[in-house]
Amino acid sequence: MFRLLSLLLCLPLVSQAADQYRQRVDRVLLQTPLIDGHNDLPWEIRDRFKGDLSLIDLSQDTHHLPVGPDQAAFMTDIPRMHAGHLGAQFWSVWIPVSVQGFEAVQMTLEQIDLVKRMAARYPEDLAMAYSAADIRRIHKSRKIASLIGIEGGHQINSSLAVLRQMYDAGARYMTLTHTTNTAWADSATDTPAHQGLTSFGIDVVKEMNRLGMLIDLSHVSPETMKAALAASQAPVIFSHSSARALDDHPRNVPDDILRTLAANGGVVMVNFAPPYVSAARHRWQADRAAEQTRFNSPPYAGLYIGQPDRAKAALADWDAKHPRPETTLAQVADHIDHIRQVAGVEHVGLGSDFDGIPDTPTGLEGVDKYPALLEELMRRGWNDSDIAKIAGENLLRAMAAAEQVSLQLRGTLKPH
């Protein structure tokens, strides 16, 4: 009875503390735009609706829209963006690495056009942004700043001229690789071919500096990270990566790079994708992939080749005996804390990867959940000034610095 009474007495205090955290988050995000470094909604619209915006109403809750058997529920819509106090979103104009050459250039331009059409379709809520000042101005108007990020160096077809045209079309960062190497840069998830960047890769970095386009080092190998950091005169970003010390996934950032990043002035925008957040989930996913191969690996290997029902049943049995480990909001906060400890609080931000991942950590199911993550950091002792930094001030500083470097270089360097 005494324990029950103590618990009942504590409940109002817990509720009061939660209210205080919410109020603090509201105050911070009223002044500082919360900036997400990476959202893949444009590709989902292309993939599911052939880019036809009339077939999806972003002004309504999209979470309950019907999905196919291998599709995740939508994580993004305008009501949830406002509920999550989102101030600015870098929309990824990703295209598959299987698309190369001139076709890749065209498809990228189509995705850039899609982002601009999204903003034009919802002018009361979204506005295109091309600079740090634009983000602040749009945030003050209580709209959501929409920015464009290219997610793969293959999308410029090894052409600095195309890179310049992508910048003129509105792209404000480019990820140097995606899941495979380009002709000039190594990916984190491919066999190294260049030991980092080639001489042309260095030229890409320098031209991005001259343009004022942020260099995004998510998806690249550690050697590419080092080469780009050495070559760049402006802060770089990782638009959607986490800490490798906590989850040894090649998509995450090693501690030695985090220390170098601090000197560069850059920002790691922490990814919410469960395999990059949870070491247990990463291991489980690898084990499951191995089982899939063991059961059905055409044309010559696998226990149940040509027997899809048996292979499916065997995998279902494995799943039942090996439940997927849960990934949580608190684990995402652990990555943020780690990057803060190694690189400093000025070098961490948020890069959810929403609508580019098949599932999310518990507590971070969509774009309305950012405040819950910030409240968790407050419970860990983060003050309001540091919350503002991770929410958006760090990215705004890095972006403004890249713009300043561009102003200096444009007076001394010519396009080549």
240 is catalytic: yes
- Residue 322 falls in the annotated catalytic set: no
The one catalytic residue in 85, 139, 219, 335 is 219
Which of helix, strand or coil describes residue 171? strand
Catalytic member of 139, 240, 282, 347: 240
Catalytic residue check, 151: yes
- Burial label, 318 (beta-carbon count in 10 A; 0-12, 13-18, 19+): middle
Specify whether the CB–CB gap between 147 and 190 falls below 8 A: no
Contact 402, 214 (CB under 8 A): yes
| Structure tokens belonging to residue 178 | 């995606």
Exactly one of 40, 355, 365, 375 is catalytic; name it: 40
Q: Which of 36, 77, 134, 151 is catalytic?
A: 151
CA–CA distance, 290 with 298 (Å, rounded to integer): 14
Among residues 146, 251, 157, 141, the alpha carbon closest in space to that of 204 is found at 157
Burial of 299 (0-12, 13-18, 19+ CB in 10 A): exposed
| Closest alpha carbon to 187 in 199, 195, 179 | 179
Computed over its alpha carbons, how large is the radius of gyration of the chain?
22
Using the Cα atoms of residue 106, residue 112, residue 118 and residue 123 in order, give the sign of their dihedral: negative
38 is catalytic: yes
| Among 220, 226, 271, CA closest to 246 | 271
Record the tokens describing residue 410, joined without a space: 């444009």
Helices and strands per DSSP (H, E), number in the chain: 16, 9
CA nearest to 335, candidates 323, 351, 324: 351
The one catalytic residue in 353, 386, 393, 403 is: 353
125 is catalytic: no
Q: Are strands 171-175 and 144-151 parallel, antiparallel or unpaired?
A: parallel
Q: Which of 178, 335, 338, 347 is catalytic?
A: 178
Sequence-distant (6+) residues with CB within 8 A of 382 are 390
Catalytic sites, residue numbers? 38, 40, 151, 178, 219, 240, 353
